[in-house]
Amino acid sequence: IDSASWPLPTSDRGCEVLKKAFEFADSSDQAALVELFRGQVLNAAQCGNASRVLQKCAESMPADRLRFVFSELRGNACDIACHRHGWRVLEKLMLHCPSWQSGELVDELLNEVLQLSRHAFGNFAVQNVLKVGTMSQRRRVCDALLTDLQKLARHRVASHVVRCALSSGAEDDKRRLIDNLRADAEGLSDLAHHHCGSFVVREMRRELRKQHLRCRLGSGAFRLGRHGP
């Protein structure tokens, strides 16, 4: 197996062989295997078999060995996020590589938050930003959601992103989302009876209960610290 073996990861058998190779090869051999993808990253990300090997690369290899992967994806992050195979590659890169390395790709995603949130595959990329992104990246997602929150909460796909923001966003961003949802009592009642929006309302209520519990625990700890048990 060498850099001239590009078709190998695109076949069923080749995919399985390479995935096993990444599990048992030493670091130098793994580095050589990664070179199979140089110049072919976009093709690999959109191929069912090759994308699975590329995911294995993201899980197994140190970040500095994957610089060319990010370089070849640059400018195509949104297209890859919306691809039925590509979104999983992007997910693995975001989960296993440091934010400084994935930052440019995430910035591309952040410019299209609303469009991606409504997409059957793209929504997972936005959810991953909310789960593992930096504080500023997660805030930018919430800022975008707030521009059309009521409609997004009722959308078949985007409602999952809103729920993720309520569960994984920063505390002040969660409060902003909740305040927006609660601002219109009639709209909130309608949302609670909507087939998608009802799940958003349930997540909001769970978050409110957690916030209330934290406040009670915090005030209890304050009293104990001040007056003793």
Nearest to 72 by CA among 49, 95, 52, 89: 89
CA 92 from chain center: how many Å? 9
Give the chain's mean pLDDT: 91
In the chain, where the domains are located: 1-98, 112-229
Residue holding tokens 């997602």? Answer: 141
Q: Could you read off the pLDDT of 7-65 as tens digits, one per residue?
A: 889 999 999 999 988 888 888 888 888 998 999 999 999 999 999 999 999 998 998 99
Q: How far apart are CA 32 and CA 10, in angstroms?
A: 17
At residue 5, does pLDDT exceed 90?
no
Nearest to 153 by CA among 191, 182, 123, 124: 191
Which pair of tokens denotes residue 84? 């039925």
Q: What is the pLDDT of residue 221?
A: 46
CA 167 from chain center: how many Å? 13
Instruction: Calculate what percentage of the chain has a pLDDT beyond 90.
Output: 76
For the entire predicted model, the pTM comes to 0.88
CA 13 from chain center: how many Å? 30
